[in-house]
Amino acid sequence: MTARSRLLAAAAACLAAATAVYLAAVRTTGGQMVENVAMDGRPVDRWWVHDPTAVRIATAATVLAVAGAVAVVAWAARRHGARRAVAVAASIVASLAVTELLKHAIVDRPALVATGERAYLRPNTFPSGHSAVAVAVAVAVVALAPSGRRAVAVAAGTAYAALVGLATLAAEVHRPADAAGAALVSAAVGLAVAATAGWPRPSPSPPPAWAARRAATSRSRVALAVAGLVGLAAAVLVAALPALAAAVDRAPLTGVEIAQARAAGAAVVALATAVAVGAFAWLTPPVGLGPET
């Protein structure tokens, strides 16, 4: 299998994973109940109370996502030239376009759970445009980082993208699966862009020994960074499983169970973001800035 084929296959796998998330979280009664509790932070039989703080958090999430996109495009233009900046911008725009198309024209949210007067829970919110942009930015940061800084880029990019996703969760504008699905969609777009752009390009001669050692070290560091992030998120998710079971079986939930459900939602967002960014980092080589000093 060629490098391009591997990237396209990985992109297809990410889309398949996003589809699985959608089917489990949006197309099942249990999935909708758990998602509503994780987003709403309240028992499923109480009305929504408008919270000005939530509005401010949602605004901050939007500003953070847009600022990240502008910053990474400017960085790409300065360090790698206009062509690379255009590719980065196109990847971010494509990620947002695909998620918005899915959300508004392709997928829907059947009414499997009664929401009462809480009209904000009824429309489809899968996948999240905010998270799509943030993960696309994280992917671009990883793509542009020198090989010796890739592990740091993975950790920083994942933290940034997860923060945006968690902000939309706290603001009660998105559910955990919205951010998780968007992360996988953005990873798929990034992998497809890398494949269609002819990257990685074949080298005319074998790389020197120092380059091979550096590449191996970089991949090991990336693997450790991703494993650590995935392990932490998975531990939080497992610890919160009792609340997930309670959310499906009964309502209202206790305050502790609501906190556990929210923690589970946050863990899902962090887990999907780490997997998406880490998969891109593992499958694609760094752009490189020449020998590092």
Higher pLDDT, 237 or 2: 2
Q: If you average pLDDT over every residue of the chain, what do you get? A: 80
Centre a 10 Å sphere on the Cβ of residue 60 and count the other Cβ atoms it contains: 15
Name the DSSP letter for residue 240: T
CB-facing half-sphere around the CA of 235: CA atoms within 13 A: 6
Give the Cα separation of 86 and 90 in Å (integer).
6
Give the Cα separation of 34 and 25 in Å (integer).
8
Give the Cα separation of 189 and 100 in Å (integer).
14
Look at residues 265, 58, 62 and name the one whose alpha carbon lies nearest to residue 177: 265
Peptide bond into 43 cis (omega under 30): no
CB 22 within 8 A of CB 102: no
pLDDT at residue 40 is higher than 70: no
Give the Cα separation of 277 and 270 in Å (integer).
11
pLDDT tens-digit map of 59-100: 999 999 999 999 999 999 998 888 889 989 999 999 999 999
Question: What residue type is assigned to position 176 of the chain?
Answer: P
Instruction: Name the pTM for this structure.
Output: 0.83
CA distances from 176 to 37, 42, 74, 166, 182 (A): 10, 15, 30, 8, 10
Tokens 């932070």 correspond to: 41
What is the structure's pLDDT at 11?
94
Percent of the chain with pLDDT over 70: 72
Q: Of 148-152, 206-210, 216-220, 281-285, which gets the smallest average pLDDT?
A: 206-210
Judged on CB neighbours under 10 Å (0-12, 13-18, 19+), 203 is exposed
Name the DSSP letter for residue 254: P
CB 258 within 8 A of CB 37: yes
The structure tokens listed for 240 are 């919160």
pLDDT tens-digit map of 124-175: 999 999 999 999 999 999 998 887 788 888 889 999 999 999 999 888 888 8
Domain boundaries, the chain: 3-200+208-283
**3-class state of residue 235 by DSSP:** helix
pLDDT at residue 292 is higher than 60: no
Rounded to an integer, the average pLDDT of 10-24 is: 93
Answer positive or negative: Cα dihedral of 84, 86, 87, 88: positive
Residue 16 CA, chain-centre distance (Å), reads 15
Look at residues 123, 118, 86 and name the one whose alpha carbon lies nearest to residue 104: 123
CB 78 within 8 A of CB 216: no
